[in-house]
Amino acid sequence: MNCLDSAQGGLLNSVTRLQSNGILGIGGVSVDCGVTCLSNTYAGTYVVYYSCPAQGATCMPAGMPSAAQVQNPVAAFAANSDGTIDNNGTMIAMPALPKLGATVAKGRLVFGIGTQRNNQLPPAARIYQLNTDPASADYLYLAAQVGARRYAQSFIDTGSNALFFDDTTLSQVCNVTTGAQGLWYCPAATWRQTATLTDAAGVQGSFDFTVESADTLFNTGAVAFANLGGSAGQAQQTFAVGLPFFYGRQVFQSIWGQALATNGPWYAF
């Protein structure tokens, strides 16, 4: 039930629905979710690990030792033949997309930051440190501000196929037939906004984004969109800066504990 609630009824629980065999996470920590999973403190967020007793007893949220959590494979990379180690983060580069999307969007996932000629951090890139206080409700998050709305638990994520946030001024009266009624936004005209990010150290930066009607986008036959938006279902606390943000950018993410990120993980773009 927790998974169904988090997915707002759109659980991708088969190869056909997911359109892949699985998703391998490569975020900013070397294990699945660190302290939250270790201590079984899932209050206010989604449950990652369950304990399911034999004989069909009810599954319950469970803590998981770090060594038993799903591991970030990048952090475990061994040295290359020249002695360099591409295990301190990743860079994702995606092409810009036209307004009505594209049927194909090919990008690059590059391992390591500052270890090879093709993964150097540009001088103009701004670094955003994540909150590393496990006692904080904003642990491993950034804050995002859009107009008068502040989303204290925000994150940048290629695993989100849209920009997910809650804004009651945006119409969700859509005609989409994808089984996700009430999820997508369908404004009558292009919705243009600026999001301001604030990191754990108080560093700020902004980016512009637009949201088009999901009906318009889905009727094009395209599958990749830079302007698709939907509800996060998080009572205005979360802005999932999803894949649309990546189109036309190079986005870096360090791995906590590795070189360049001993004081905590960060995004840079």
Q: Please tell me the predicted confidence (pLDDT) of residue 9.
A: 57
Q: Please tell me the predicted confidence (pLDDT) of residue 4.
A: 62
Give the C-alpha distances (Å, rounded to integers) separating 250 from 90, 166, 224. 10, 26, 17
Strands 127-129 and 266-268: antiparallel
List, for residues 183-193, the tens digit of each pLDDT value. Answer: 899 999 999 99
Q: Please tell me the predicted confidence (pLDDT) of residue 36.
A: 82
Domain ranges of the chain: 80-269
Q: Please tell me the predicted confidence (pLDDT) of residue 219.
A: 93
Task: Please check the confidence at residue 168 and state whether its pLDDT lies above 80.
Answer: yes
What distance in Å separates the CA atoms of residue 140 and residue 145, rounded to the nearest whole number? Answer: 17
What distance in Å separates the CA atoms of residue 199 and residue 41, rounded to the nearest whole number? Answer: 23
pLDDT confidence tier of residue 19, bands split at 50, 70 and 90: confident
What distance in Å separates the CA atoms of residue 230 and residue 207, rounded to the nearest whole number? Answer: 18
pLDDT confidence tier of residue 182, bands split at 50, 70 and 90: low
What distance in Å separates the CA atoms of residue 247 and residue 104, rounded to the nearest whole number? Answer: 12
Predicted TM-score (pTM) of this structure = 0.88
H helices, E strands: number in the chain: 5, 14
List, for residues 50-60, the tens digit of each pLDDT value. Answer: 998 888 788 89
Sheet holding 108-111, edge to edge: 108-111, 89-93, 250-254, 266-268, 127-129
Name the 3-class secondary structure at 4. Answer: helix
List, for residues 54-111, the tens digit of each pLDDT value. Answer: 887 888 999 999 889 989 999 999 999 999 999 999 999 999 999 999 999 999 999 9
What distance in Å separates the CA atoms of residue 60 and residue 190, rounded to the nearest whole number? Answer: 44
